[in-house]
Amino acid sequence: MTDPRDDLGPERVGHATRGLTWEEPLLFERSVRGRAGYSLPDLDVPDADPADAFAGDALRDDLPGLPELSEVDVVRHFTRLSTWNAAVDLGLYPLGSCTMKYNPKVNEALARLPGFASAHPLQPAAEAQGFLELAWRLERALAEVSGMDRVTLQPAAGAQGELAGIMMIRAYHEHRGEHRRVVLVPDSAHGTNPASAALNDYRVVSIPSGEDGILHPEAVAQAMTDEVAALMITNPNTLGLFETHIAELCEIVHARGGLVYGDGANLNALLGIARPGDLGIDVMHFNLHKTFSTPHGGGGPGSGPVGVKNLLAPYLPVPMIHRREGSEGVGFSLDYEFPLSIGRLHANFGNVGMFVRAWAYFRSLGPEGLRRCAEMAVLNANYVLAKLRGTWHVPIDRPVMHECVVSDQALAATGVTTLDVAKRLIDYGYHPPTVYFPLIVHGALMIEPTESEPKEGLDRFIAALSAIVTEAHSEPERVRTAPHRTRHGRLDETRAARRPVLRWQPDPPPS
């Protein structure tokens, strides 16, 4: 009997296929009492009794509930789980606003050089001169491409960099004796923007975008008062559109004593073409995992450096890297002499392996290569939009930068939604794009192909989306019940969110 999951319809596209698949239970379910994954020699030192050092209530005889496994059990478990992952090394990963670009392997090789990989985070600066020089050079490179004056590498992710930027803005105003308590945030912003402002005890005021998807000067001018500490803006914005009024927006904010925070998540579209600092931005974060090809996802390790104009430099987190020239040559040290600093944000010096990868990316591409990356990212996004126009609803139909947004409006009569399309794309072998974001577009499907993807790969992805539209009209139930080729069918995501299972409980023994 033919498995219906094997039938992708008349238009077989994408890169899904059949082969070995593993159903993997939890480690707890694999546990066998008494099994161990290690062996240790007999002690060659006196056997100390833990009870001599710890109180009785701090000791126990066993570790109830922990799985007992052999080495091969553990290795095979995690190797099998790895086959479940979508990854940039497997195919197109079109998450809009996330910039899931390919990570060149030369970056990985350099990050594994013993001098970097084996360095201890508490090494004295005198014994870490190579790393400090690399980090200093990366700071200067980031400052150059962004138009900023100083850069800190310390934040461990873009969101923490964003938090650091708003902390510096608050410190700046308070040092001047101003107690501003409002931050303006466009309605198309990333969710971390209002969160960072709220964590700094600011009241967030949402600014509506115009019908053309960008922010207009009159909307900012109307909201701008002496209470406003900053405007937070993403450029290009989350619709993939360049904020053409950006210079005027910054002038409006600056005229009333406010500052402008630039969310650097979409810098991939501007490399070598435009510098946010030249447009009026006072502070911005960089997502090394988005723009500069360090690994992305899995909870880290991330890196979210922050660039500032000189007016915010006194508030940078410490330590900063200081380059000195003397009779003994050039040297690097850690500078803690920032009396107005917002303090330390990260233990030691951040996720340093990401610095090595990003610096390798800079050096391997050079200025022309970085600009070419942005040009190809913009070209790819507009190519996808041009090919989807007509079969998909385009809410704001104009040239885009690095990503494009379509919606499920044209599928309304079929009952197929954006979520259904995302699930069906999995059957075709694609990780779905970002869905239902930005929030200002109903049923949004947000696609960012990045510069990594060749035309042939984009054509296959476009064909898959077109095939799903055809299915939505001819076999809507097939789309609404997708995915069909995964280990598990569609999960109850609402129940998973509202009633999560956070602790494993073993089945009771048979009576």
* Range with lowest mean pLDDT among 49-63, 240-254, 276-290, 394-408: 49-63
pLDDT in tens, 258-270: 999 999 999 999 9
Is 506 a residue whose pLDDT tops 60? yes
Q: In this structure, what token pair is assigned to residue 126?
A: 């005198």
Of 245, 254, 255, 313, whose CA–CA distance to 283 is shortest?
313
DSSP letter (8 states) at residue 508: P
Q: State mean pLDDT over 98-125.
A: 92
Average pLDDT over residues 382-393: 96
Q: Is the pLDDT of residue 131 over 80?
A: yes
What tens digit of pLDDT does each residue of 287-336 get? 999 999 998 865 557 899 999 999 999 999 999 999 999 878 889 999 99
- Helix or strand or coil: residue 288? helix
pLDDT value at position 510?
Answer: 62
Say yes or no to pLDDT of 13 above 90.
Answer: no
Give CA separation, 55 vs 61, 64, 153, in Å: 14, 20, 43
The residue among 184 and 348 whose pLDDT is bigger is 184
pLDDT tens digits, residue range 287-301? Answer: 999 999 998 865 557
What is the rounded average pLDDT for all residues in the chain? 91
What is the reported pTM?
0.88
pLDDT at 300: 59
Count Cβ atoms within 10 A of the Cβ of residue 323 and give its class: 0-12 exposed, 13-18 middle, 19 or more buried. middle
In degrees, to the nearest 5, what angle opens at C-alpha 49 toward C-alphas 48 and 54? 120
Is residue 1 scored above 50 in pLDDT? no
What separation in angstroms does the CA of 324 have from each of 154, 175, 255, 339? Answer: 21, 29, 37, 20
Give the percent of the chain with pLDDT over 90.
73
Paired residues of 389 in beta bridges: 392
Give the mean pLDDT of 391-399: 95
Reading the block at residue 360, the tokens are 């390798």
Local structure of 172: helix, strand or coil: helix
Q: What is the per-residue pLDDT for 5?
A: 42
Q: Are 35 and 70 in contact (CB under 8 A)?
A: yes
The one-letter amino acid at 470: T
Residue 453 pLDDT > 90: yes
Give the count of beta carbons closer than 10 Å to the beta carbon of residue 99: 26
pLDDT tens-digit series, residues 64-76? 778 999 999 999 9
Mean local confidence (pLDDT), 271-295: 95
Answer with the residue of higher pLDDT: 492 or 305.
Answer: 305
Range 97-106 average pLDDT: 91
- Using alpha carbons, list the distances in angstroms from residue 350 to 301, 306, 317: 9, 12, 12
Q: Look at residue 10 in the predicted model and tell me its pLDDT.
A: 40
End-to-end CA distance of the chain: 39
- Which candidate, 346, 359, 349, 364, places its Cα nearest to that of 294? 359
User: How many CB atoms are located within 10 Å of the residue 448 CB?
Assistant: 31
Q: Copy the structure tokens of residue 80.
A: 């099998």
Residue 481 CA from chain centroid, whole number: 29
Q: In terms of residues, how long is the chain?
A: 511
503 or 291: which carries more pLDDT confidence?
Answer: 291
* Closest C-alpha among 159, 237, 228, 236 to residue 440: 237
Give 191's contacts (C-beta < 8 A, 6+ positions apart): none
Residue whose tokens read 């009241």: 203
pLDDT at 50 > cutoff 90: no
Residue 12: band (very low, low, confident or very high) from pLDDT cuts 50, 70, 90: low
Domains within the chain, CATH numbers bracketed? 26-82 (no CATH), 370-497 (3.90.1150.10)
pLDDT surpassing 90 at residue 372: yes
Half-sphere exposure of 56 (CA within 13 A, CB side): 0
Long-range contacts of 48-57 (CB under 8 A, 24+ apart): none
Residues 242, 278, 294, 316: what is their CA dihedral angle, to the nearest 10 degrees? -130
